Amino acid sequence: MFDVLVYLYENYWRPDSCPEHDQLSRKLTSVGFENDEIEEALSWLDGLTSVAETQAQMQSALSMRIYTASEQDRLGTTSIAFLSFLESAGVLPAHMREIAVDRAMAAPGGSLALEDLKIIVLMVFWSMGEEPDALILDELFVDDADRLIH
């Protein structure tokens, strides 16, 4: 599923530039993605659209996010710390964090790898029609092992 999401991010500037599901599904199949993977990604994207449309910006800048036990199990401390870093850096507002957490909980599988969470955060920006700044894109795309230390 995450490979499909990355493909969509790289090939479609905004979600509204994507073709309808049937045509997009055919395009993704012709590129080489499996039907199960495509359906999972499209269903996940439908959920993202729904959550993004209904999520009000109700969180206060002074509020504190307490993660439930199931969220802690699913995300893990590294992913929660990453979300906290993005929020404290001022690049991930509380309402977008909530969308990211919701979509992380909706992703298939067990524990979520940090790399998968980064894709989810990227897709949240994408769904809102926002481009993260260059430093955040670097955080989302560059593997820590590939970073050069100056």
- pLDDT, one tens digit per residue, over 22-66 is 999 999 999 999 999 999 999 999 999 888 777 655 555 567 889
How many Cα neighbours within 13 Å face the side chain of 50? 9
Domain boundaries, the chain: 2-146
Average pLDDT over the chain, rounded to an integer: 85
How many Cα neighbours within 13 Å face the side chain of 149? 2
pLDDT of residue 142: 53
Contact between 56 and 95 (Cβ < 8 Å): yes
Q: What angle do CA 76, 80, 86 make, to 5 degrees?
A: 150
pLDDT of residue 35: 94
Give residue for tokens 């504190």. Answer: 64
Please state the rounded mean pLDDT for residues 117-132.
Answer: 89
Please state the rounded mean pLDDT for residues 58-85.
Answer: 87
What's the predicted TM-score (pTM) here? 0.82
Give the whole-number percent of the chain exceeding pLDDT 90: 52
pLDDT of residue 18: 84
Alpha helices by DSSP H, listed for the chain, are 2-11, 21-31, 35-54, 69-88, 94-106, 114-127, 134-141
* Two tokens, residue 37: 């993977």
pLDDT of residue 143: 57
Distances (CA, A) of 117 to 29, 36, 78: 25, 20, 10
pLDDT digits (tens, 9 = 90+) for 4-26: 998 998 898 777 788 898 999 99
